[in-house]
Amino acid sequence: MKVTIIALLFTVSFQILSAQQFINKATIEFEVKKSILKDMGNNMWDEMMKENLPPFKISYFNFTFSNNKSIYKFNHLDEKIKLPDFMKREEEENEWYINYTNNLYEMKKGVMGSPFYIKDSLPSIDWKITNERRVIAGFNCRKAVSKIFDSVYVFAFYTDEIMISGGPCSINGLPGMILGMTIPRLFTSWIATKVMINDVNEAAIKPASTKKTFPNKEFKSLLSSRTKDWEEYYKDDKTVINRFFWNAML
């Protein structure tokens, strides 16, 4: 009788483990949704612009990874949402290459109409893992909470069935892949819509080509010098300037 029970338990355990997926390379599509109206300021000119803008901007990014390296980059916009040209272009330059083994990342960011190339150590993020769970894109995920830029909360759902400690943009450091994320102070959410494990284009996992890169500290100083005039324009709502920097450095 004991032998039978042990054999049954072994069979059930084996079936559960076999049913789990442990993925070490894939392409993950993310839907990125931002509240346009909340992200803007509340001065006279911004209020006038809001009258002609949709409430949300929805864009799609692909996260492709293999061998503990990843590339996360813009793919396309939701064309059903009519946006002005400057809002269409602002994300098309963006991509993040990360080598998790060496703890390095290289970011290409379109900011104020120009591409910037940043190369630095991968930001360290201190997470608190909770017991809340959710299924995203068919994967069981667990919630974790942290702060970036000292005061900006990040709420993430990760799965340990995808074997890379990555996520959208430069967010990282959990024991698995982030498939859902919200940053309330940026009025933005990221959600994986599908995970594709076949025909992964591993050759695309490489940093953008450039001759000059900036470390994070120098990039931030450069942004500060180019936005000095914003202090007067947004004197009644300086959170707009903060969001600009957080988005640029993310």
Chain segment 43-53, per-residue pLDDT in tens: 666 767 777 78
Which residue blocks in the chain are alpha helix, DSSP H?
Answer: 2-19, 36-39, 44-50, 85-89, 216-226, 230-233, 239-249
Mean pLDDT by 10 residues, the chain (250 residues): 42 38 92 90 70 88 96 93 77 93 94 90 96 97 97 97 97 98 97 96 94 94 86 73 91
CA 191 to chain centre: 9
> DSSP readout, 67-112?
TTEEEEEEEEE-TTS---HHHHHTTTT-EEEEETTTTEEEEEEEET
Among 106, 99, 101, 102, which Cα is nearest to 73's?
106
Q: Which pTM does this prediction carry? A: 0.88
Q: Is 51 helix (H, G, I), strand (E, B) or coil?
A: coil
All structural domains of the chain: 24-249 (2.50.20)
Please answer whether residues 27 and 200 qualify as being in contact, where contact means their C-beta atoms are separated by less than 8 angstroms.
Answer: yes
Task: Give the pLDDT score at 5.
Answer: 42
Dihedral through CA 57, CA 58, CA 59, CA 63, nearest 10?
Answer: 130
Q: Is 218 helix (H, G, I), strand (E, B) or coil?
A: helix
Judge residue 6's burial from the number of C-beta atoms within 10 Å of its C-beta, 0-12 exposed, 13-18 middle, 19 or more buried.
exposed
d(CA 225, CA 220): 9
